[in-house]
Structure 1
Amino acid sequence: MKDASRRVRTEGITGAAVSAVMRDAGLTHGGFYKHFGSKEELLMESLSEAFQEIADRLAQVGEQSKPETAWKAIVKTYLSLEYCDHVEYGCPLPALAPEMARVDKAMKPRIFEELKKYRSRMLPFMPGRRTADKERAFFSIFSTMVGAIEIARMLPEPVMREKVLASARELLLRSF
């Protein structure tokens, strides 16, 4: 499922052909319908895998840091040029947010559940003493990071991408 998830992040929800995603998941056409009820089911499983993969990676970075600086290590990892240049391994938010906003209404609650799991996984690493403070920090930090990655990925030169990422990193690291 990791390969299918990476294809969806790379090609988008609407761009990823079901046949290619099925092949990445190791499924035949017949096997697809035994395992999934619809293309939406396959896409949700791919999104779930993507959120889990990035949450695991960022949590590992946070766990390897001192508790008071864990969020800074997460910011530095997320806003790196290496991360920016490899959409297939990154957070599904900068890769797919506009498409996720336009999915069928039936999928939105399921995407929301994935977002809640992601937030819950990141919350322990966020700055703040109270849960409400950590939640505010999460939304501010991740909104800024997602936007910076989206803008940086549009730019043709690594130097330009790094400038955007460095600006967001510096802003975040000074702000909390």
Structure 2
Amino acid sequence: MPKRSVADTATTHQAILKHASQTFREHGGSVGINDLMNTLGLTRGGFYRHFDSKDHLFIEAAALGLDEMAQRLTEAASTAEPGRQLEAIITTYLSPEHLHHPEAWCVLAVLAPEIARLPLAVREQLDAAMQRYIGALSPYMPGDTAQERSAQFMLLFSGMAGAISMLRVLGDDETRRQMLNVTRTHYLQWFTRVPEHTSSTQS
């Protein structure tokens, strides 16, 4: 059998990673390697040519999710009117689309408890992606120094991720919609001082 080219190997690696990132966000980290690989028409043996372990894949998949979320939110900011970039970030994050589609949105809002249970040596592998996430979005935060803006990022994003996670627990869709609107209004008023009537345009 001919050897796979470096390009083919890289393409397969990215395909596994992207599929795993979406699958873990949708179904949780308990999804098995066999299920992940079978969906892609690949074998379990092939998995170990790309990743040392499932934990290795899980952390790389989480890192990809953070990078994708940072890109999504910075794009929202880049298309906003001057002075309204943070408003766009908050509105995008606290959106019905995020609430109803965990597979494509914030990895922390769905997988943070599972990541926290991993061994320290594994969790540390996510640090670089977390720093990229903070670095991409903290410039939009209020504060006079980089340290203050990073602190505001942690306050805002831990709260928003927790809110999305809690809202997904609720079974009644109308209650979730109402609470999402209340949460969005709160964070817009607290972090951007946007008037209440401008923050309830989404449902």
Does TM, normalized by the shorter one, top 0.5?
A: yes
What's the counterpart of residue 162 of structure 2? 147
Q: Give 1 or 2: higher helix fraction.
A: 1
Task: Tell whether the 8 Å contact from 2:26 to 2:103 is kept in structure 1 after alignment.
Answer: yes
In the alignment, structure 1 segments of 5+ residues that lack a partner are none
Flag the structure with more relative contact order, 1 or 2, with Cα contacts below 8 A and sequence separation at least 6. Answer: 1
What's the counterpart of residue 101 of structure 1? 116
Distance 1:48 1:22, change over 3 A: farther
Q: What are the within-5 Å matches in structure 2 for residues 5-44 of structure 1?
A: 5-13=21-29, 15-24=30-39, 27-44=42-59
1:174 aligns with 2:203: no
> How many residues align structurally?
175
Structure 2 CA distance for aligned equivalents of residues 47 and 90 of structure 1: 11
1:89-147 per-residue CA deviation (whole Å, 9 max, x = no partner) reads 11011101111111122212112332222111111222233212211221111011011
1:91 aligns with 2:106: yes
Distance 1:168 1:102, change over 3 A: same
What letter is aligned with 1:54? M
Structure 2 CA distance for aligned equivalents of residues 146 and 137 of structure 1: 14
Distance 1:48 1:25, change over 3 A: farther
Q: 2:172 aligns with which of 157, 160, 164?
A: 157
Q: Which runs of 4+ in 1 moved over 3 A?
A: 23-27
CA RMSD, Structure 1 to Structure 2 (Å): 1.6
Task: Tell whether the 8 Å contact from 1:8 to 1:21 is kept in structure 2 after alignment.
Answer: no
- What's the TM-score once normalised by structure 1's chain length? 0.91
Structure 2 CA distance for aligned equivalents of residues 8 and 125 of structure 1: 29
1:65 aligns with 2:76: no
In the alignment, structure 2 segments of 5+ residues that lack a partner are 1-16, 192-203
What's the counterpart of residue 20 of structure 2? 4
Structure 2 CA distance for aligned equivalents of residues 26 and 122 of structure 1: 37
Structure 2 CA distance for aligned equivalents of residues 25 and 103 of structure 1: 26
Distance 1:69 1:158, change over 3 A: same
Q: 2:141 aligns with which of 126, 140, 159?
A: 126
Task: Tell whether the 8 Å contact from 2:87 to 2:188 is kept in structure 1 after alignment.
Answer: yes
What letter is aligned with 2:170? L
